């Protein structure tokens, strides 16, 4: 079973907690949780995708879990959240540019 590794990355002006599994050189899959969940919602998928050779990444979204919690409500706009995921993909993506990055959403 693929081991889940935790780390903090600096992106888009905040610190984002991410849980990762699988080979870093594999195609990257980023799984975004909804309210009021956390990376933990994706724990089973992290193992399965990591075992299948994907670099599976599940961040704690801004304001959740171990990620930064800005006090200003204006820091939680859709464009800020998208910026967080773009930054996350740039920090986590170590495979060639031709590899795919897929983003999942859970409601």
Q: What tens digit of pLDDT does each residue of 23-40 get?
A: 988 888 899 988 889 999
* Cα Rg of the chain, angstroms: 13
Half-sphere exposure of 101 (CA within 13 A, CB side): 17
Give the tokens for residue 53.
């050779």
Whether residue 100 is predicted with pLDDT greater than 70 in this model: the reply is no
User: Which of the four pLDDT bands, split at 50, 70 and 90, describes residue 104?
Assistant: low
CB 15 within 8 A of CB 68: yes
Task: Measure the CA–CA gap between 95 and 79, rounded to whole angstroms.
Answer: 26
For domain 5-105, the CATH class is alpha beta
CB atoms within 10 A of CB 48: 16
Task: Measure the CA–CA gap between 96 and 107, rounded to whole angstroms.
Answer: 31
- Provide the whole-model pTM: 0.87
Mean pLDDT of 3-15: 95
Report domain extents, the chain: 5-105
**pLDDT greater at residue 44 or residue 91:** 44
């Amino acid at each position: 079973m693929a081991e889940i590794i935790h780390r903090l990355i600096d992106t888009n002006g905040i610190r984002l907690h991410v849980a990762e599994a699988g080979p870093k050189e594999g195609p990257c899959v980023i799984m975004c949780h909804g309210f009021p969940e956390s990376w933990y919602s994706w724990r089973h998928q992290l193992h399965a995708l990591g075992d299948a050779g994907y670099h599976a990444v599940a961040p704690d979204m801004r304001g959740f879990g171990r990620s930064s919690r800005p006090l200003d409500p204006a820091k939680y706009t859709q464009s800020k959240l998208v910026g967080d995921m773009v930054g996350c993909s740039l920090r986590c993506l170590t495979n060639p540019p031709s590899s795919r990055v897929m983003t999942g959403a859970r409601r």
